[in-house]
């Protein structure tokens, strides 16, 4: 997902059989290690390859609106209406999910004593989109998963213009009780966009 490198760090540590090698960028930290160990040629290294490969939709189509148009009502999401149980474990483990809901706790009605609390919420769980008057959106879990997937690897980057919201950590893959792989979903999205574009080009 392109999040494996950064220049924004103060120091890095690499553990070896001989001990720990340090690379210190922040000069203010150097005096803490001045009398420890010996000089090392250690340089910071980043992950260069992962056994799980993903291809995002923007790699096959540079227009995020076109990606959204292709995938919004695509049947690729139908299988998740039964596979996904809407437990929200994928979003509660995600380092970039921060949605919450607000509710009131009444301690004493007579004296109007209570408190307003903020609680972690998730677009993958039921009632998240409930509105006044009993209106609700995205009742099916496949629709919720579509919303989440498009937000993570299409809409966020379209608005912010730099990186996708998904950082590729794989926590959601590990936490899902029904073994739904978000990595596979991203690849499916890219495959369907590519297939649709080829079909449109062939019909011109």
Residue range 46-53: mean pLDDT, rounded: 82
Structure confidence at residue 82 (pLDDT) = 93
Residue range 184-191: mean pLDDT, rounded: 96
* pTM of the predicted model as reported, rounded to 2 decimal places: 0.77
pLDDT averaged over every residue in the chain: 89
Structure confidence at residue 137 (pLDDT) = 86
Q: How confident is the model at residue 124 (pLDDT cuts 50, 70, 90)?
A: very high
Q: What is the 3-state secondary structure (H, E, C) of the chain?
A: CCCCCCCCCCEEEEEECCEEEEEECCHHHHHHCCCCCCCCCCCCCCCCCCCCCCCCHHHCCCCHHHHHHHHHCCHHHCCHHHHCCCCCHHHHCCCCCCCEEEEEEEEECCCCEEEEEEEECCCCCCCCCCCCCCCCCCCCHHHHHHHHHHHHHHHHHHHHCCCCCCCCCCHHHHHCCCCCCHHHHHHHHHHHHHHHHHHHHHCC
139-185 tens-digit pLDDT = 899 999 999 999 999 999 999 878 899 999 999 999 999 999 999 99
Residue range 10-38: mean pLDDT, rounded: 84
Structure confidence at residue 11 (pLDDT) = 87
According to DSSP, residue 137 is labeled S
| Residue that is written with structure tokens 């379209």 in the block | 158
CB 97 within 8 A of CB 63: no
């Amino acid at each position: 997902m392109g999040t494996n490198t950064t220049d924004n760090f103060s120091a890095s540590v690499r553990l070896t059989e001989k001990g720990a090698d340090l690379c210190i960028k922040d000069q203010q930290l150097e005096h803490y290690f001045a009398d420890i160990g010996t000089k090392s040629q250690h340089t910071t290294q980043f992950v260069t390859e992962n056994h799980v490969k993903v291809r995002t939709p923007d790699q096959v189509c540079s227009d995020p609106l076109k990606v959204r148009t292709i995938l919004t009502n695509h049947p690729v999401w139908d299988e998740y209406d039964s596979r996904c149980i809407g437990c929200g474990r994928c979003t509660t483990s995600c380092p970039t999910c921060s949605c919450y809901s607000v509710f009131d706790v009444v301690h004493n009605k007579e004296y109007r004593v209570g408190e307003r609390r903020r609680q972690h919420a998730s677009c993958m769980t039921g009632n998240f989109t409930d509105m006044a008057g009993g209106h609700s959106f995205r009742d099916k879990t496949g629709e919720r998963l579509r919303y989440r997937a498009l937000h993570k690897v299409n809409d966020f980057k379209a608005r912010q213009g730099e990186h996708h919201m998904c950082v590729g950590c794989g926590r959601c893959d590990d936490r899902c009780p029904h073994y739904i792989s978000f990595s596979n979903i991203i690849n499916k999205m890219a495959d369907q966009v590519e297939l649709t574009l080829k079909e449109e080009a062939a019909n011109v």
